[in-house]
Chains A and B, each alone.
Chain A
Amino acid sequence: MGPRLKLFLPLILFALLAITLFRGLGLDPNELPSALIDRPLPAFTLPALGQTQMLSAADLTGQPALLNVWATWCVSCRVEHPYLKQLAQQGIPIFGLNYKDDDSAAQRWLEELGDPYRFNIADREGTLGLDMGVYGAPETYLLDARGVVRYRHVGVVDEKVWQMFLEPLYLELSKGNGVP
């Protein structure tokens, strides 16, 4: 390499970096692919939070709904909680998956902060979470009327996330009566 050509090396390296950054702009680091997309929830039999009744995957079917993974030990869950209540008030069905949590703490949380959930699955040991591949609370899954996972969001659901990703898909699912 001639001495002058060598001086172009930094420029070439930078060009490669810029291309990578450009590709990176189109990607969302929060968007984790889920092995569950377009597949039904794994089978489970778990108690409902605060009740003796047992729940299974069939209890989540019937209409498109959100399944929100939360816990009292999760600070971000507290951040997203008010927005979930707002969604519940708009009539969006939300089921809760209380993940690796203490039942009494979870019930106190709902009494204190309000309860946006139709009901909560008490996943004390985190077995269902493990089967679903939960990455960390909070996570929110969009289910269609047959209980098939259509979308997964990792992190806090706020107005922006709802309007950009969840709502369009939710409306589409509702229009077709939840079955495409």
Chain B
Amino acid sequence: MIPEIGHFALIIALCLALILALVPAWGAWRGNSVAMALAPGLAVGLLVFVGISFSCLSSAFLQDDFSVKLVASHSNSLLPSVYKFAAVWGNHEGSLLLWALILSLWTAAVALFSSQLPLLVLSRVLSVMGAVALGFLSFSLITSNPFTRLLPAAPADGSDLNPLLQDPGLIIHPPLLYMGYVGFSVAFAFAIAALLGGRLDASWARWSRPWTNIAWAFLTLGIMLGSWWAYYELGWGGWWFWDPVENASFMPWLAGTALIHSLAATEKRGLFKSWTVLLAIFTFSLSLLGTFLVRSGVLTSVHAFATDPARGMFILVFLAVVVGGSLTLYAFRAPAVSSRVSFGWVSRESLLLCNNVVFLVATLTVLFGTLFPLIVDALGLGKVSVGPPYFNAVFVPLMALLVPLMGLGPVSRWKRDAVERWRGELAIPAVVAVLCGITLPLLHAPYNIWVALAVLLSSWLVLGLARDLWQRLRSASSPGQGLARLTPGYCGMLIAHLGFAACVVGIVATSQYSVEHDLKMSPGDSRALAGYEFHFVEVVQVRGPNFVADEARFEVTRDGVLVASLSPQKRRYSASGSVMTEAAIDPDLFRDLYVAMGEPVGSSGAWAIRLHFKPLVRWMWLGAILMALGAFTAALDKRYRRHREAVHSSSEAVLRGT
């Protein structure tokens, strides 16, 4: 009965989405304020019914209702409860429902937290989001109904969740990622609403900014978690593979980064209006494209869901309607005349422009690399795959170009700045950065030129920020007052840029300094790696809730002192019979020690063992967390709320006047 309620709630949600997509938009067009005023209520109703539907599916999973096909093929009675819940989105149908739930969450959030927005704008924004929800809900109901029953032949037990997905990281990775992906629909909806209204002004950018920041922060966290999960769960110590699905999440991130910076220029200076609107459309389109790539089976990937050409066709049509429709609207409605606001070549505007160019080139590079195999195949030229060398060859120079400019950004002024002033401000940071770049890599022998370059660039970035912060504090009467005067927007920028610097150092250091050994080891053996001694003590059999495992016991010592006890496992899951490697990691701010078991070798009890030494690998993820934190902080800026009130009263006057 519960699955049927869920199915029914989903159908009601679809109807609400249809009304939301049509009625308020019609109201905005005809100036009917009654129709427009329906939007917030409909948005909340949408959330309630999608929420009911999602709860019903979750309860089917938690209660082991194997008569539901989805539960039977993705869960098992022995599965721990928390994974039964995570199994809800560990499959195509359920994750699509999660997507719809998060979309309705964002829609309701816009409805609830934008009471200060002019009704005309709010109703358009919510209508656009309703239309997107309509697309996803009908996709779910028509091609991927999660509530399909297996009656009367319900199996006694389920065939278990893919063991790769039975992991704490994977419980929250998809929801965070979707919060990001779907969150960009808000920026998209604001852009479309602005195009429909024909008023692309600073207030539009101001309304979009906090939403875009929050979506971007979630996406950052989601990508970070995915990378961390791959690192410890896949068992080969890699943290980024340029896999098509990773790229699918990385492209909206890159475009979103450009969007955040472009929105800043649009809000503060009224610049790049058409460009920013296009970026907002582009970013959300990339989220949709990611969905298409993951669920249509056009590309091979370790992440891909079970695929179905009918689903691929549906998303492609949806993609064509949403993206094609919005780009057509853009072509007709975007201001064709460039803004009359002028700025000098040496100014914050041109630095933001550089940021946009770098991130756009990066996005297009990843897009091209991801789609290249498909393009070649579609043209009938054979099968190719594009590997990490291509992406690295493009990314390294792009980032090396970006960071020097990033150091200038915070110090620079709007409109017109002078190179002489930059020189005065940044001479000391530049010298110190060079010194850091030369000396810090000496801590780790042998000297590595790439790490030196990364340290040089990152310290340039950090010192530039420090210099700017110091200037601001010094100009205040007391440091305390200076701190109080810093806006959340500024602090957010500071934190996020700091995170980026940490990320750069982490990525380069771990790529350059990592040592890994693939060895054949028997219990009793010892191996030295990067100054650590790894003793293989024994192998024992352990039993988990739904698996049995061989567990190796390792003791790691440095200069005779015990540093860590590590117990990697080789698990065999009972229901599916699949075998998983569970790596054991000793984490540290400056280095990770990583042991993973391969296969048993011969019959003497020897195993193929993989030992890793990974310096500064945590910096990468800590950097990503800082970036997300920065974006959240910036979204808190009071300015967004205050201005909304001011706009509210003026537009009320306009409405009353009409």
Chain A contact residues, CB within 8 Å of chain B: 3-4, 6-8, 10-11, 14-15, 17-18, 20-30, 32-33, 72-73, 75, 78-79, 81-82, 102, 104-105, 108, 113
B378 contacts A20, C-beta separation under 8 Å: yes
B331 with A7: CB separation less than 8 A: yes
Stretch at the interface among B61-69, B367-375, B523-531: B367-375
A25 touches B316 (CB 8 A): yes
Smallest beta-carbon distance B297→chain A, Å = 8
- Contact: A18 with B330, CB < 8 Å? no
Q: Please, which residue of chain A has its CB at the minimum distance from the CB of B313?
A: A25
- Give the contacts of B288-315 with A (CB-CB under 8 A): 292, 296-300, 309, 312-313
Complex: chain A residue closest to B333, CB-CB: A7
Closest to B301 in A: A29
User: Which residue in A6, A23, A28, A78 is a CB contact (below 8 Å) of B378?
Assistant: A23
B298 x A11 contact (CB < 8 A): no
Once the chains bind, are B313 and A29 in contact (CB under 8 Å)? Answer: no
In the complex, whether B563 has a CB less than 8 A from a CB of chain A is no
6 examples of A-B residue contacts, CB within 8 angstroms: A14-B285, A21-B319, A24-B298, A25-B296, A29-B298, A29-B299
Contacts known (A11-B331, A18-B324, A24-B374); A72 close to B336, Cβ less than 8 A: no
Q: Is the CB of B316 within 8 A of A22?
A: yes
Contact between A21 and B324 (Cβ–Cβ < 8 Å)?
no
Where the two chains meet, the residues of B that have a C-beta atom closer than 8 Å to any C-beta of A are 274, 278, 281-282, 285, 292, 296-300, 309, 312-313, 316, 319-320, 323-324, 327-328, 330-332, 334, 336-337, 371, 373-375, 377-378, 383, 576-579, 599-603
Q: How far is the CB of A108 from chain B (nearest CB, A)?
A: 8
Q: Is the CB of A24 within 8 A of B330?
A: no
Beta-carbon contact of A73 and B599 below 8 Å: yes
Contact A21 B603 (CB under 8 A): no
A14: which B residues are within 8 A, CB to CB? 285, 323-324, 327
Instruction: Please determine whether A78 and B296 come into contact, CB atoms closer than 8 angstroms.
Output: no
Q: How far is the CA of A58 from the CA of B406 in the complex (A)?
A: 68
Instruction: List 4 extra interface pairs beyond A21-B374, A24-B378, CB under 8 A.
Output: A18-B324, A21-B296, A25-B316, A29-B298
Q: List, in ascending order, chain A residues with CB within 8 A of B601's CB.
A: 102
Closest chain-B Cβ to A34's Cβ sits at a distance in Å of 12
> Cα distance A81–B577 when bound, in Å?
10
Q: Whose C-beta in chain B lies nearest to the C-beta of A26?
A: B309
Residues of A within 8 A of B313 (CB): 25
Verify A24–B383 contact, CB threshold 8 A.
no
Query: Contacts A8-B331, A11-B324: A20 and B374 contacting too (C-beta < 8 A)?
Result: yes
Shortest C-beta distance, A81 to chain B (Å), equals: 8
Which of the residues A17, A29, A108 comes within 8 Å of B373, measured between beta carbons?
Answer: A29
Whole-angstrom distance between the Cβ of B558 and the nearest chain A Cβ: 33
Chain A residues lying within 8 Å of B330, measured Cβ to Cβ, are 7, 10-11
CB contacts (< 8 Å) of B371 on chain A: these are: 17, 20
- Chain A's closest residue to B572 (CB) is A78
The distance in angstroms between the C-alpha atoms of A27 and B376, with both chains bound, is 11
Instruction: Tell me the bound Cα distance from A11 to B577 in angstroms.
Output: 49
Evaluate contact between B324 and A27: CB separation under 8 angstroms: no
**A138–B383 CA distance with the chains assembled, in angstroms:** 19
Closest A-B pairs by Cβ, 5 of them: A23-B378, A24-B298, A3-B336, A11-B327, A29-B300
- Nearest CB in chain A to that of B293: its residue: A21
- A-B contact number at CB 8 A: 96
Measured CB to CB, the closest approach of chain A to B100, in angstroms, equals 22
Q: How far is the CA of A24 from the CA of B309 in the complex (A)?
A: 10
Cβ B298 vs Cβ A21 within 8 A = yes
Instruction: Tell whether A15 pairs with B324 under 8 Å between CB atoms, given A20-B374, A24-B378.
Output: yes
CA distance in complex: A2, B622 (Å): 48
Rounded to whole Å, the gap between the CB of B573 and the closest CB of chain A is 11
The one of B292, B296, B319, B602 in contact with A104, judged by C-beta atoms closer than 8 angstroms, is B602
Asked if A25 and B298 sit within 8 Å, CB to CB, the answer is: yes
Alpha-carbon distance A28/B377, docked complex (angstroms) = 9
In the complex, are the beta carbons of A11 and B378 less than 8 A apart? no
Complex Cα–Cα for A14 and B578 (A) = 41
Q: Which of A3, A17, A79 has the most CB of B within 10 A?
A: A17
Q: A7-B330, A18-B320, A20-B371 are in contact. Are A75 and B579 (CB under 8 A)?
A: yes
A18 to B319, CA, bound (A): 8
Provide the bound-state CA to CA distance between A75 and B331, in Å.
51
- State the CA gap A98–B297 with chains docked (Å): 29
Q: Distance in Å from the Cβ of B201 to the closest Cβ of chain A?
A: 18
Give the complex CA separation of A26 and B320 in angstroms: 17
The answer on a CB contact under 8 Å between A20 and B375 is yes
Contact, CB under 8 Å: B578 / A78? yes
Nearest CB in chain B to that of A8: its residue: B331
Closest B residue to A25 using CB positions: B312
* Neighbouring A residues of B309 by C-beta, 8 Å: 25-26
The answer for the CA separation of A112 and B372 in the assembled complex, in Å, is 43
> Please, how many angstroms separate the alpha-carbon atoms of A82 and B336 in the complex?
62
Interchain CB contact under 8 A, A4 and B336: yes
Q: How far is the CA of A164 from the CA of B309 in the complex (A)?
A: 13
Chain B residues with CB under 8 A of A8: 331
Q: Which of A22, A72, A82, A102 contacts B577 (CB 8 A)?
A: A82
A-side contacts of B297, CB under 8 Å:
28-29
CB distance from B420 to the nearest CB of A (A): 36
| A residues near B331, Cβ cutoff 8 Å | 4, 7-8, 10-11
With A3-B336, A3-B337, A82-B577 known as contacts, the answer to whether A21 contacts B327 (CB < 8 A) is no
Q: Please, how many angstroms separate the alpha-carbon atoms of A102 and B320 in the complex?
A: 52
How close is B235's CB to chain A, nearest CB, in angstroms?
Answer: 10
Inter-chain contact B278/A10, CB cutoff 8 Å: yes
Given known A7-B330, A18-B320, contact A29–B377 (CB-CB < 8 A) = yes
Q: What's the minimum C-beta distance from A104 to chain B, rounded to whole angstroms? A: 7
- Interchain CB contact under 8 A, A21 and B316: yes
Whether A11 contacts B328 by the Cβ 8 Å rule is yes
Q: How far is the CB of B274 from chain A (nearest CB, A)?
A: 7
CB of A78 within 8 A of CB of B577, answer yes
Query: A4 CA to B338 CA in the complex, in Å?
Result: 11
Across the interface, do B577 and A27 meet the contact criterion of CB distance under 8 Å?
no
Q: Closest residue of chain A to B306, judged by CB?
A: A160
CA of A14 to CA of B278, assembled, Å: 12
Distance between Cα atoms of A113 and B331 in the complex (Å): 62
> Chain A's nearest CB lies how many Å from the CB of B41?
34
User: Which B residues are in CB contact (< 8 Å) with A25?
Assistant: 296, 298, 309, 312-313, 316
Most chain B CB within 10 A, of A3, A8, A28, A29, is at: A29
**Option from B316, B373, B378, B599 in Cβ contact (under 8 Å) with A72:** B599
Most central of A3, A21, A28, A75 by chain B CB within 10 Å: A21
| Alpha-carbon distance between A111 and B331 when the two chains are bound, in angstroms | 67
Residue of A nearest to B577 (CB): A82
| Docked complex Cα distance between A75 and B302 (Å) | 13
B422 → chain A, closest Cβ, in Å? Answer: 34
Cβ distance B239 to chain A, nearest Cβ, rounded Å? 20
Cα-based distance from A79 to B580 in the complex (angstroms):
11
Closest partner residue, chain B, to A135 (CB atom): B383
CA distance A113 to B378 in the complex (A): 41
The docked-state distance in angstroms from the alpha carbon of A14 to that of B292 is 14
Give chain B residues whose Cβ lies under 8 Å from the Cβ of A10. 278, 281-282, 327, 330-331
Q: Chain A residues near B278 (CB, 8 Å)? A: 10
Q: Which residues of the other chain, A, contact B316 by a CB distance below 8 angstroms?
A: 18, 21-22, 25
Q: Which residue of A lies closest to B371 (CB)?
A: A20
A73 surroundings in chain B (CB, below 8 A): 599
Docked CA distance A152–B463 (Å):
59
Chain A nearest CB, measured from B200 CB (Å): 13
CA of A159 to CA of B252, assembled, Å: 36
Neighbouring B residues of A81 by C-beta, 8 Å = 577
Chain B residues whose C-beta falls within 8 Å of the C-beta of A29 in the assembled complex: 297-300, 373-374, 377, 383
